[in-house]
Amino acid sequence: MGPGIAGRLLHARHRDRLTALARTDPRLVAHELAAPTPEVAAALADAEVLLTCWGAPPLTGRVLDAAPRLRAVVHAAGSVKHHLTDACWERGLTVSSAAAVNALPVAEYTLAAILFANKRVLHSAHRYRGLRAPHDWHEELAAAGNYRRTVGVIGASRIGRRVIELLRPFELRVLLHDPYVTDADAARLGVRPVPLDVLCAGSDVVTVHAPQLPATRHLLGARELALLPDGATLVNTARGSLVDETALLAELVSGRLHAVLDVTEPELPPAGSPLYELPNVLLTPHVAGSLGTELHRLADHALDELERYARGRPFTGPVRPEHLGRSA
């Protein structure tokens, strides 16, 4: 696990359950496996299952050679691409991820962002702070509101599908762009499948939920952003690389578009970036995913998976190598 994460994930009740499920020492957290301490090396040699999280070191062939009894990896977070290597699949390890669980808070953040964007909450808050006087808000916000607005969802990932599900109670029209979703799949989701250009041109809010892949880098470039209607909002909780930030900044500085950005490229914008100050931008420090109390959900899921493994049952969140080419 990454430094500090283990302590936040494994509270007392989690430690008690972990020790009841497996022969382990919850206090032993390995931050380095290529040159492990003697204590970690001894534990690795005996390990049948690894419990990993954000910041876990790569499981290279050399590491796996030092873990001859290893059979499974239970990842208490989303993507496994940062620490699983080809050697893991060659060894035939069984892998579980909490990606579906981590999708829940991201989707909730996105739902709030969409509803606030259409209601022009950020705009009215800035204006109210400046005016501090009576004002005809109904006139100024005549075009605001969530009734019969159009939301464009890019990517029917776990998060994208959860966002679609959360939007159902509202009287919103939902467009979806995902090259892997068939018309029948879209019908089951209750959305209209469209090409990316059509989605951009027809949406009041566009929310990005595609994976970070070479093919999705700058998926939204200057041309696509220019298609968004005046006053539209871009919500990005996926990865900063999916949006051409130079092109987006030009649109934001002009005031034509709004944005809710939980991710950027680079991850931490330079201190002088306009993103920090623009009144039409809500910038947050990559907090849409699990944090605080939501980390307990990840720990609960990981321990549920460990219990399933101990009982000889399949994981509920299996990761298969053939799916990694089009997943986060």
Residues classed as catalytic: 239, 267, 286
- Cα(201)–Cα(278) distance, rounded to whole angstroms? 24
Helices (H), strands (E): how many in the chain?
Answer: 14, 10
Query: Which residues does 237 contact at the CB level (< 8 Å), separation at least 6?
Result: 106, 109, 110, 113, 159, 207, 208, 209, 262, 263, 288
Helix, strand or coil for residue 123? helix
Per DSSP, 192 falls in state E
Task: At 64, list the tokens.
Answer: 């796996």
- In our burial notation (b when 16+ CB lie closer than 10 A, e otherwise), range 188-213 reads ebebbbbebeebbbbbbbbbbbbbbb
Please count the residues of the chain: 328
- Cα(252)–Cα(275) distance, rounded to whole angstroms? 9
- Cα(230)–Cα(313) distance, rounded to whole angstroms? 52
